[in-house]
Amino acid sequence: MLRNRAVYFSLAWLGLVALVCLAPGGAQTKKTYELMYEDIQALKVQLQELMTLAKKNQADLQELKDQVKILGDLIRRTQAEQTALKEDFRNIPVQFQLLNSKLEEVQFQTAILNDILQAIQNLTPPPKVEEKSGKPGKAQPAKSEPPAAEAKKPAVVNIPAQEMYNNAYGDYLKGNYSLAIDSFKLFLQQYPNTPLSDNALYWIGECHYSQEQYQEALDAFNELLINYPSGDKVPAAFLKKGLSLARLGRREEALATLKLLVAKYPTQEEARLAQQKINELGNK
């Protein structure tokens, strides 16, 4: 458009020059023509400069368009990366739960190994002194029999610790709840302070719960929470305590217990199940 205006202006100026040249007066006309010619040459130079400037502006405009396109691509790429980051943040709780589950599994296996190690350390070898003391007479072997029997008792009690727990748990899995309760109680009598003691008490509560003996189950879960407050079965005990209270019709106590579980252990799977039960009880 700038170029067309310059050409139009040049043509108008040439027409004006032609009129002046045709006007009368020889010397004056010649001088005027020379001035006009110089002006035309100057206009040509200006026109050329304008055309050069227009080309430069066009190149700058194209460069700006390219930069805008690059910025647009960068914005789209940034938005895509932000979306990917949001998805990663959403997956963090799931990954945390998986890691937490693996950690609990490792802790459980470590507890079993510690129990086996403790059982091995508690083994007492047969006393050698009694064999020497049996030489003097017949009365001494008779007296040495009770210590020998007593020496065998720790071996009988300590060696099957893990086996005793596994057998009791196997009875629970088979549905032999009464037998499992007796076995777990025997385990607790002999091993009240092992890493598996709180587990044994928890499964006693589960056996009662499976038999719809909700008050007995509640008593077992309360005993676990009191005696083993830092055990790994505490969240599960809170959950089953709340469910037992709900089964007994004690709705307000059940809600309080389940809400406490959600507040203390928000990342545990038991907390998610407790929240579902809270919603269910709240709608009743």
pLDDT at 147 over 50: no
pLDDT at 106 over 90: no
Residue-level pLDDT at 69 = 84
Please answer whether residues 265 and 275 qualify as being in contact, where contact means their C-beta atoms are separated by less than 8 angstroms. Answer: no
Does 47 or 6 have the greater pLDDT score?
Answer: 47
Alpha helices for the chain (secondary structure H): 2-22, 26-121, 129-133, 139-158, 161-174, 177-190, 197-210, 214-227, 234-247, 251-264, 269-282
Per-residue pLDDT reduced to its tens digit, 35-83: 777 778 888 888 888 888 888 888 888 888 888 889 888 888 888 877 7
Residue range 125-153: average pLDDT? 46
Residue-level pLDDT at 148 = 44
pLDDT at 267 over 70: yes
Per-residue pLDDT reduced to its tens digit, 176-204: 999 999 999 999 999 888 889 999 999 99
**Phi first, then psi: what are they for 49, rounded to 5°?**
-65, -40
| CATH, range 129-282 | 1.25.40.10
The one-character DSSP state at 126 is P
Place of tokens 């910025």: 71
Quick one: which of 157, 216, 159, 215 has its CA closest to 186? 157
Please answer whether residues 206 and 177 qualify as being in contact, where contact means their C-beta atoms are separated by less than 8 angstroms. Answer: no
